Amino acid sequence: MRTRPLKVALLGCGVVGSEVARIMTTHADDLAARIGAPVELAGVAVRRPSKVREGIDPALITTDATALVERGDIDVVVEVIGGIEPARTLITTAFENGASVVSANKALLAEDGAALHAAAEKYGRDLYYEAAVAGAIPLVRPLRESLAGDKVNRVLGIVNGTTNFILDKMDTSGAGYSEALDEATALGYAEADPTADVEGFDAAAKAAILAGIAFHTRVRIGDVHREGITEVTAADIASARRMGCTVKLLAICERAADGASVTARVHPAMIPLSHPLASVREAYNAVFVEAEAAGQLMFYGPGAGGSPTASAVLGDLVAVCRNKLGEATGPGESAYTRLPVSPMGEVVTRYHISLDVADKPGVLAQVATVFAEQGVSIDTVRQQGKDGEASLVVVTHRAPDAALSGTVEALRKLDTVRGVASIMRVEGE
């Protein structure tokens, strides 16, 4: 074993960063044995140096992150500060000064991953980011390495624990959205400002990363169709239950049937209770990968939190340090297919549409005519009426999203349709 330690700079020392530092200290002997050399925490960049950080030598703390990554003797930079800047500049500076990078920054990778990969390749460094997608769940490396010889056609999963917790509580306890969000916040599953989670931004960033790796093409967060869960109601949950379904916020990345394009989308969807994703409870994540040779693979586990995310960071750290010792680099960006990302309007799926209608003869015929004129085939219809008011629930066969949009627009013009109560896609069948 080499006795000279590999030096690690840690950018950020919050929930994840502090856990990374703790594991590096408490498991130092095991890490050294697995890597083939000891690893040494050489510096920790933070914004608030006065905060007490148990187990970390105060002499390692600095507020000058730039100076830390410019030192020249740093072998690996671990970036867990998040956001676009200064993380982007710090990572590229690290590459320029001889360090490889382990990152958990999904927002930056989804926005500017191509440029970061290009910088890593230019300077002969590693860029690893297992922790950016699903916490402790090994997902990036299996897609990037284990399935490198296969053809992945679809990635379908729950990649945000906050929204899964909220929807699970709405389903199992009958709570409304606000009540379930309050419980998630009290338990620490939701941030004080939950927008990134509940509006789907977090899941969309992860979908962009997964689609890019799975399909060997460049997908940015702006390419991902995004819908959150704030409009999901107790009535939607009840309708799903009547259909033998539950509601989940899904990230779905697909290769077109002709192989000429891909799609990436995040939105709530009804899935059958028989589907394995339906049983994913509380704040857990799970992802299905469908490949031609391997078939269906499912990855399941805690998708967030200090310890789970730190586990993924340390796994990458071990891999990068091994590469350093072997004077090699791991796999970089694979974007050779250059497939275009199709707009949401071309995505074909099923829909559950709930309408408020007048309770009088001929309404169902009018509604059915609109669907037929738009080329959307109806699978089932359920109608209830009382005192001149009625609800009509229509479940369609598979149709393009653009056709569904045209259908809803036409339905709203009918005098007998008082309003469109909800629209939700149906997946997993």
Provide the pairing of β-strand 6-11 with 39-45: parallel
Identity at 112, one-letter amino acid code: D
Residue whose entry in the numeric block shows the structure tokens 């939701």? 190
Catalytic-labelled residue, pool 106, 169, 206, 324:
206
Identity at 16, one-letter amino acid code: V
What number of other Cβ atoms are within 10 A of residue 52's Cβ?
6
Structure tokens at 37: 């050399």
Please confirm, yes or no, whether 206 is among the known catalytic residues.
yes
Integer Cα distance of 67 and 355 in angstroms: 60
230-to-199, 252, 315, 352 alpha-carbon distances in Å: 7, 19, 35, 17
Q: With 0-12 CB in 10 A as exposed, 13-18 as middle and 19+ as buried, what is 406? A: middle
Q: What is the Cα 386 distance to its own chain's centre?
A: 43
Integer Cα distance of 409 and 403 in angstroms: 10
Provide the pairing of β-strand 39-45 with 61-62: parallel
Give the phi and the psi of residue 11 in degrees, each rounded to 5: -100, 105
Residue pair 19/10 in contact by the 8 Å Cβ criterion: no
Residue pair 229/167 in contact by the 8 Å Cβ criterion: yes
Integer Cα distance of 78 and 44 in angstroms: 10
Helix (H) or strand (E) holding 399: strand 399-400
326-to-2, 39, 118, 129 alpha-carbon distances in Å: 12, 15, 22, 20
Could you report how far apart the first and last alpha carbons of the chain are, in Å?
53
- Percentages helix, strand, coil for the chain (3-state, rounded to 5) are 40, 25, 35
Q: Decide: helix, strand or coil at residue 288.
A: strand
Q: Decide: helix, strand or coil at residue 344.
A: helix
Active-site residue list: 206
